[in-house]
Amino acid sequence: MKFAIFGNTYQPKKSLHALRLFELLKKQGAEICMCREFYQFLTADLKMEVPVDALLEGNDFTADMVISIGGDGTFLKAARRVGRKQIPILGINTGRLGFLADVSPEEMEVTFEEIQAGRYSVEERSVLQLICNDRNLQESPYALNEIAVLKRDSSSMISIRTAINGAYLNTYQADGLVIATPTGSTAYSLSVGGPIIVPHSNTIAITPVAPHSLNVRPIVIRDDWEITLDVESRSHNFLVAIDGSSETCKETTQLTIRRADYSIKVVKRFNHIFFDTLRSKMMWGADGRR
């Protein structure tokens, strides 16, 4: 198999797991291609000897499988590079929580044995697309986790007029609004009180950030519906964050959010059950008194 590898370039200690990964792949006779930034980090900064067959530049590459080694942030960057190529992505978690990158370093050997034997599953994850007339936002308008509209200054909240398929829903007076996929429901959306959504439910969660009214609650809609946002701000601008990458927008910019015309393929171990991951990561049932 041909693997394309993307990795975390900020945490040297956690990158040591990459050496074990290369050993396992070479043992299987795999072809290893690597993101140039990650390769330079390992060889120049960490002085590692990295056995690669080719380096990847930009988004023009092919592979049988992409490997993301890091946390969920690294996985999101890899997904952005994969785009609509339909290459499945395996996430090896050397970060903290890890819902997308959920294979631990200790599980690498058995995981690649299973992959070599064809014993793994591939899940389709929906993607959001942002449509607007801002050129900076249109350079990378797709989100696997969420698209968030946020206030830019530190004091005044913003007003976000929200419509669904052209029908008025609400004007949110809040610090922001998070539009999340089921995949992103356990990320930023969850931290501001949004619901946890099963990955294949074909829905979108709309969750306000620190709303001025206590009556305002998150709402879940179908993912084939279109969301339109018009934002007013005392500073006449606001932030739009697409999977954590943010740009400043003028308040005259209308935002339209819809499901993209492609999905991201996520590799899971054959015995993977979402609820097991949920209990483990959220520590449900753990007794905090011990």
The response to whether 64 counts as a known ligand-binding position is no
189 is in an annotated binding site: yes
The backbone torsions φ and ψ at residue 273, rounded to the nearest 5 degrees and listed phi first, read -130, 125
Cα pseudo-dihedral 13, 14, 16, 22, rounded to 10: -160
Sign of CA dihedral 193, 139, 264, 262: positive
**248 is annotated as contributing to ligand binding:** no
156 assigned ligand-binding residue: no
d(CA 39, CA 139): 25
Q: Would the annotation count 145 as a binding residue?
A: yes
Among residues 53, 72, 134, 243, the one annotated as catalytic is 72
Query: Is 210 a known ligand-binding residue?
Result: yes
What is the residue-wise DSSP string for 124-150?
EEEEEEEE-S-HHHHTS-EESSEEEEE
Radius of gyration of the chain (CA): 20
Per-state percent for the chain, helix, strand, coil, to nearest 5: 25, 40, 35
Are 102 and 277 in contact by the 8 Å Cβ rule? The answer is: yes
Q: Does 63 count as an annotated binding residue?
A: no
Is 159 annotated as belonging to a binding site? no
Tokens describing residue 81: 């590079």
Token code pair at residue 56: 């990847």
172 is in an annotated binding site: no
The answer to whether residue 223 is catalytic is no
E strand residue ranges, the chain? 2-7, 31-35, 54-56, 65-70, 89-93, 120-131, 142-143, 146-151, 158-164, 167-174, 176-180, 203-209, 219-222, 227-232, 237-242, 245-250, 255-269
Which residues have CB under 8 Å from 136's CB, separation 6+?
Answer: 247
As annotated, the binding site includes: 72-73, 77, 145-146, 175, 186-191, 210
Q: Which residues are catalytic?
A: 72
As annotated, the binding site for NAD(+) includes: 72-73, 77, 145-146, 175, 186-191, 210
